Every structure is written in structure tokens, then in C-alpha cells.
Structure 1
Amino acid sequence: MATLSADVPTETQTLVHYEVSDGVALFTLDDPPANTYTHEMMRQIDAAILRARFDATVDVIVITGKGDKFFCAGANINMLQKADPTWKYYFCLHANETLLKLEHTPKLVIAALNGHTVGGGLEIAMAADLRIARRGAGKIGLPEVALGVLPGTGGTQRLTKLVGTSKAIELMVQGNNLDFDQAAAMGIVNQVLDSESRDGFLEQVMAYAKQFTRPNKATFAVGNIKRSCQSGAELPLEQGLALERELQALLFNSSDAKEGLNAYVEKRTPHFTGK
């Protein structure tokens, strides 16, 4: 896969590698040893999200970490320790805006947890639609209470939605890290895969992701299912149903809906175009 980085800020090193293969855009967080994120990395994540949005060849986004020890260990503590409170506020604001952008991009987003996924790393992963982890590769959790702060990049909100209010509070005030199987049992992780290497794990995740690309899947429908769930989750039921109906109306007029219905009647495999 060729690395494409033209739309990523150039004043610093490349901290987010952007690659496209068979309809899947792969973002790789790369700041050893723990892939912690700085403002520069978050800006590059932001740019990569926009690039994938506008890339007509991309149906699915996969986010992973460089190396085999860390997906991401959260925000860079040395950076935060040196910054003043006003700067840190705007840093958190931009990070929140970036992850909301990821969450509302109408393309499926999968976090491939290749190693430890803690603090802000888990907050990035929870902004993805699906989380797939490599068994035994690391821990997962929100330990910010040990620093005297709360998980401030969406952690309190997204973890609560995943596991419920009481369990989320318990996990965050205790600050304990879990293994991936424990996280899967709670619904934080969707799947845990066995793999002897990080590269083998990533190959499995990419193969999984490709089932959601054209012509295998109606990607226009996938994107609108995501939009209905992510946007509708914040609405009262009646308004959520209204959003669902409007998105369904768009799909009823799509070429993929016609193809799907015709293929069903004709007892053949559909060939979707994402339109």
C-alpha cells in the first residue's frame, strides 16, 4: 500500500500515516514509544478524516497504532504538564471536535486495537463505530483519575453510552485497566482476535473491513445506518424516527436499493456501487 500524506500538516513529522487499499483507508498513529497524541497528531487525525471523507474510493476507515505494544496511550503528559490551562482547554476542544467529525463521517470506522489502549487512546477508539482487539496484546481503560483529572476527550460520555452510567462511573473512579476479553464482555470491544503478530492481526482486521466495501456491501446504506444511529441516539424517539424515515427515503431512491431488491427477486448476488 502506498502512503499518501499530501493533505497532512507539513510543519512537523508525519504522525498519522494515511494509506488506501481496496476501499479501506488505514490511519496509523505513529509517535513512539506509546503513540501518545499531541496537538500536532490530533491535527493530522483531523486532516486524515477529511481526506477520507472526500475520497470517493474510500468506504471504510481503519485506525490502528504503529508497533505491537500500543494503539495509543492517550494525550502526551509532558505536553500537558508544560501547557497553561487556556491552551489545554482549546486542545481538548479541538480533540472533541475531531472525534465528533470521525463519529459523524458517513463511512464505517473500525478501531484496530493492536496494543495498550488507555486514556485518550480509548477515547479515540470509542469514537469509532466498531472496536476489534488483538487478544493478549494489551490493556484498556480510562485511568485519568490518577492524574487528578477526568477523561476529557469524550470518555465520560461515550463510555457511559457503551456500558451504562453506574458501570462507567465505577470504571473511571477506580481507574483500573482491563484486558481485552474483559472489555469485550462489557461491550466496550466488539471482537477479540487471536493472532501471533501485529501484522497478522492487522491483516485480519483489513479483511474484515473489506466486507463492508463495494461491491460487497451497499455502502450508501451502511453510511446512513451509521448516521441514523449516531445522530439519532441523542434525539427523542419521535425525532429519531423522523430522521430514520428521511434517511430511508434517500435509500429507497438509490441505485443500490434497486439492485438489492432485484438481486433478491432474481436469486443472485447483488453488485453494489455505493450510489
Structure 2
Amino acid sequence: MTNDFLTLEAAGGIGVLTMERPPGNGITVGFAERMIEMMDRVAGDRGVRCLVVRSAFSKYFMVGADLKEFPPDLDLSGIDYDQPPDKVFAETFARVTPHWQNILKAAQSMMNSVAALPKPVVASIGGHALGGGCEFALACDFRVMSRGHATVGLTETTLGLIPAGGGTQRLPDVVGLARARELILTGMRLGADEAQAIGLITTAVDPERLEEETLALAGTLASGATRALGCAKRLLNRRRDMTLEEGLDLERECIDELSGTADMLEGVASFVQGRKPSYTGA
């Protein structure tokens, strides 16, 4: 299945989504919309029980927002380029800013669609994941990263900006507030081993083992009770929006939702019989 720079291949319950928007999977409104559409398709595809997201490029996983691609109707006419450079920049920036806001809104919606997918998502990071690329990886459930040239980090403050694709919200959940503050305010880039040491990524691997290790993790997840994993993700994602009592209520609702499903019955039966469960995702 191909969808404008995105290709999905599925086998054995694992979907592999390859991003290929040159030169480094920069995020545009169109790219974000296509990614959201792909998440919707994966959510409804019972043949995909775990999703791997990878890049077709060895240098980059994802570079973040593509602020160089302007809409065809952007009007820069009438700007007096003979005035002082700071005034030219200010006038140009005022016209471009609404377009940037559109990209950011689309990027935020894209990250949310990845995080909300009711199936495990594994980011396979073989190249730089900086800025919005790091934020995309944070929206995934697991991050497998290769050692070598690849780096990961929220570098926006070094450009006079801030992480605006969910990084300020998701990074503290992953590494803790103090460490997130350090990473965001310094714009630090980390290699795979450094990132693993602080919990930013799940696993650091040698480059030649990236695909193997990623698919091994995805295989384990794809063989699990898919609906239970989806419920667990929903609870974890919503915990900050709920009181403790509301969270406990939702736990009970999820148990009701899972009760009587084929995988729940298989899980209980396998436990009683002392054997390994064989889940189907139903």
C-alpha cells in the first residue's frame, strides 16, 4: 500500500511503514495528512497487529517540519526589498507565520494519530531524528536506534524556536522532567548509547542489526493480545486528562470491553493449562 511518500508492507502481523520524502522526510501539511490517513488504515487492518515505522534514507529518520515549502498561494508581493533588512525580514515573516502555524497544527495532529493508534508502534531509527523527528519517535511506543552517525534530540531552541510537535509534553513522560528540561533548553543531540542510558530510546543496536532487532521486538508485540495492548495504550495516553477515580473507572470499562474476547479466553485458558498462549488479535 503506497500513499504519497509512505509505503506500507505487512507480513506475519507486522506492518512496516517506510517514509520516503526527500531529502529527509520533512513534515509538510500534505505529508502529515497522508500519515494520519495511513494510521487510520492501519487501525482498521486486522492483519497488522504491530507497526514499525522506518525511513528509506540512511542519513535521516525524520528532520522535522519543512519550513522551506510554502503554499502556492503565499503572497509575498509588495514587499519593499530596498528597506533595511530587518524590516524586510519582519514583513516577510509576518506573511509566512500563518503557514508555519498550519504546518505545526498538522504535525501535532500527526503525532497524536501515531500515539493514539490502538496497536504498538516501533520507531526504527537508523538516521538523525531531530526536532520534529524526535517528537515523532516520542509518539511511538518503542524506539530502536542504531549506533554510529544517528543522533536524536529536540534541537529547536538552538534555532530560536521551541519543540512544538508535542516534545515538551511527551519527553518528560519518557525521561523525567529534570532530564527533559536539560535536553530541551540545551538542544542537546544524543547518540544511541547515551539516549538509551537515560531512557530516551528503548534499545541501542549496531547498524547491521537494526532491522533484525526491530523486527524481533515487533514480532513479540504482534504475537500479543492486540486489543488488550490497545486498551493499555489508551489508559496510559489518557492518564493526565483524568483524575485517579476516572482512570480507575476507565480500567473497569476496558476490562468489560475485553471480557469474552477470543484473546482473553485464550489467555485465561493457557494460564490454567500451563501453556504458552496463542493470540489471534481477536
When the two structures are superposed, what TM-score results if normalisation uses the length of structure 2?
0.86
Q: Structure 2 matches for 1:231-242, cutoff 5 A?
A: 231-242=238-249
| Counterpart for residue 270 of structure 2 | 263
Q: Is the aligned partner of 1:190 residue 2:202?
A: yes
Once residues 77 and 240 of structure 1 are traced to their aligned partners in structure 2, the CA distance between those partners, rounded to angstroms, is 39
| Counterpart for residue 208 of structure 1 | 217
| Counterpart for residue 228 of structure 1 | 235
When the two structures are superposed, what TM-score results if normalisation uses the length of structure 1?
0.88
Contact 2:144 2:210 in 1 (8 A): no
What per-residue deviation string (whole Å, max 9, x for no partner) do you get for residues 177-222 of structure 1? 11111111111101112232xxx52233123201222xx3211111
| Counterpart for residue 171 of structure 2 | 159
Contact 2:65 2:103 in 1 (8 A): no
Once residues 232 and 40 of structure 2 are traced to their aligned partners in structure 1, the CA distance between those partners, rounded to angstroms, is 20
Q: Which residues of structure 2 form unaligned runs of 5+?
A: 71-91
Given candidates 252, 260, 265, the residue that maps to 1:253 is 260
Q: Is the aligned partner of 1:49 residue 2:39?
A: yes
User: Larger C-alpha radius of gyration, 1 or 2?
Assistant: 2
| Counterpart for residue 24 of structure 1 | 14
- Structure 2 letter corresponding to 1:254: T
Q: Structure 2 matches for 1:78-157, cutoff 5 A?
A: 78-79=68-69, 84-157=96-169
Specify which structure has the bigger relative contact order, considering alpha-carbon pairs within 8 angstroms and separated by 6 or more residues. 2
Q: Which moved more, 1:82-91 or 1:100-109?
A: 82-91
- Structure 2 letter corresponding to 1:92: L
Q: Which SS does the other structure have where 2:279 is aligned? A: coil
Once residues 25 and 192 of structure 1 are traced to their aligned partners in structure 2, the CA distance between those partners, rounded to angstroms, is 21
Aligned length: 260
Q: Which SS does the other structure have where 2:277 is aligned? A: coil
State the Cα distance separating 1:108 from its structure 2 match.
0.6
Contact 1:96 1:154 in 2 (8 A): yes
* Percent identity of equivalent pairs: 32
Q: Structure 2 matches for 1:53-68, cutoff 5 A?
A: 53-68=43-58
State the Cα distance separating 1:111 from its structure 2 match.
0.7
Question: Hey, which bits of structure 1, 4+ residues long, moved more than 3 A?
Answer: 80-83
| Counterpart for residue 180 of structure 1 | 192
